[in-house]
Structure 1
Amino acid sequence: MSTEKKPAYGGQAVVEGVMFGGKHHYVTAIRRKDDSIEFFHLPRKGNPILAKLKKIPFLRGIIAILEASANGTKHLNFSTDRFDVDPGDDSKVASERKESKLTMILGVAAAGILSFLFGKFIFTLIPVFLAESTRFIFKSDFSQIMVEGAFKLILLLAYIYFISLTPLIKRVFQYHGAEHKVINCYENDMPLTVENVQKQSRLHYRCGSSFILFTVIVGVFVYMLVPTDPLWLRVVNRVALIPVVLGISFEVLQLTNSLRNVPILKALGLPGLWLQLLTTKEPDNKQVEVAIESFEELMRMEKETQMSKEQIV
């Protein structure tokens, strides 16, 4: 493997496609109904304030997560609007489709952030009430926190498992696997061919699925610092500590990724990889083709932008 440090590219599976993000651009490639591949390009807009915030440990994770939620929703909207539509009907569908009032008022980006926050609140608070219902058995703060963590983990695994049974989500998880395989192939300095990509692992240390699991683990330790009784204070603490748990979990994710090639210490990332056994599936060759096309299109656009900047200088 090359010793040269490569840029860390991230991605996201969408409906019948894959999105990859670079320093200057985001690119999504989807497989259309006629078997063609279509691209969606979105420039990465710089924000001086956000750029400074993303350099601050613990705070940078929260900014990155909200930014990814907002941006990812735009690409998901593109894929869901077009994947099952015949390209010849694009203009007709565009004229007939009416955006929901929520999207019109809040915008796609804001809707994505709100969806993420709503989901985080649900998966944070439901385990609180479930654990509280067992207080007659588990009376101490320590036991309550452990039971709460267990309920949160069970809910997370059950949710992922049951949605993965639906045909649509199963295919999204296959594209998720294709995304990881392409990144692994790139990071291993291998040409991006279908054959090479398929040889790679569908798991990756930097995956958002690992981050979700780390929020459960980190939450257990953070909640040890605050009381579990009375219930109203417990609820307030959980809500108030969401940014803290997210910030620490992001740093843990970054740490496990940096240690993934270190013997023994690389085991720190194993729980996240195990969760990816649920959130990714083995892709077929056509799905891998879409992921490769998406990544190569991103590389092309990144190179063009870099060359333009060098010419200006």
Structure 2
Amino acid sequence: MKIYGGRAGYNSVSFTGDKYQALSRLKDRKITTETRLKKGDKKITIIFSKVPFVRSFSMVFELIIENWRRFLFAAIVSLLIELIFIGKSNFHLLYTIPINTLEMLFFFLVIAGLVIKISPIGKYHAAEHMIANAYESNQNLTLERVKKQPRTHRDCGTNLAVSIFICFFILSMVFGDGVWVFLVSWSIGYELWKTEPKVIWSSVLMIGKVVQYILFTAKPEDKHLKVAIEAMTRLQEKELANEN
């Protein structure tokens, strides 16, 4: 069985296979698991995924389509805040500190990482990686063996974020700060993440794993590992039971 993705939540871990997705939750000291058919890619995603340097934006479009209500709400709130506070007074009660996009991205990455690390998500994220590493090596998911696995993974989305950040850092040093520089960095960073060129990607992966370890994961307890083991086990059972 090939694993196409994993995700950690506040009290859950999910894995996605060829046809199904399994999500296990811990609630009231009990683990419950839900398995369902994997959602098919939307037409716009399929079309964009075939075009290099453009396909990086397909997942953005898909997120917007699936969560359009949230994006609309955020846009309305931002607009209202701007209308209320801009030009309301001639007095400057707050001092604004100039900050460029590179600094803002770094700040966001660190804050997001710290929030994840100190919350249960960080432990479930580590458990997700450790179970995936154990399964991909020999599919033996005993608790003792899983505990020996690293809590970083080469396919983690953190590596994509690091790849984009590195590209933006380099390009901004040459071309300066700008929206187009960020969009180009996003596209190039995604292609590096997708194709994994040996010489370049080995360096990006090394940085990405350090960031995963320090910011986006925390040492899991047995209960976190058991939830992830349950999700992977149920996914494997479902996939094998429905093989053609």
Return the TM-score normalized by structure 1: 0.60
Secondary structure at the aligned position of 2:67 is classed as helix
C-alpha separation in 2, matches of 1:272 and 1:154: 16
**Deviation at residue 155 of structure 1 after TM alignment:** 4.2
Alignment of 1:172-183 (within 5 A): 172-183=121-132
Alpha-carbon RMSD across the aligned residues, in angstroms, is 3.3
Segment of structure 1 superposing worse, 31-40 or 284-293: 31-40
Q: 1:245 to 1:303 in 2, by over 3 A?
A: farther
Identical counterparts, % of pairs: 24
CA contact (8 A) 1:176 1:279 kept: yes
- How many residues in Structure 1 have an aligned counterpart in Structure 2? 223
One of 239, 244, 257 as aligned partner of 2:184: 244
1:254 maps to a residue whose letter is K
Q: Which residue of 2 aligns with 1:272?
A: 208
CA contact (8 A) 1:9 1:183 kept: no
Secondary structure at the aligned position of 1:36 is classed as strand
C-alpha separation in 2, matches of 1:61 and 1:37: 35
Q: Which residue of 2 aligns with 1:160?
A: 113
CA contact (8 A) 2:133 2:153 kept: yes
CA contact (8 A) 1:23 1:44 kept: no
Segment of structure 1 superposing worse, 243-252 or 7-16: 243-252
CA contact (8 A) 1:32 1:38 kept: no
**Deviation at residue 205 of structure 1 after TM alignment:** 1.6
Secondary structure at the aligned position of 1:306 is classed as coil
Return the TM-score normalized by structure 2: 0.75
Q: 1:55 to 1:208 in 2, by over 3 A?
A: same
C-alpha separation in 2, matches of 1:12 and 1:195: 22
Q: Which residue of 2 aligns with 1:298?
A: 235
C-alpha separation in 2, matches of 1:248 and 1:265: 12
**Deviation at residue 159 of structure 1 after TM alignment:** 4.1
Unaligned runs of 5+ in 2: 76-96
Q: Which residue of 2 aligns with 1:50?
A: 45
One of 183, 186, 210 as aligned partner of 2:135: 186
Q: Once superposed, which parts of structure 1, at least 4 consecutive aligned residues long, lie more than 6 Å away?
A: 112-117
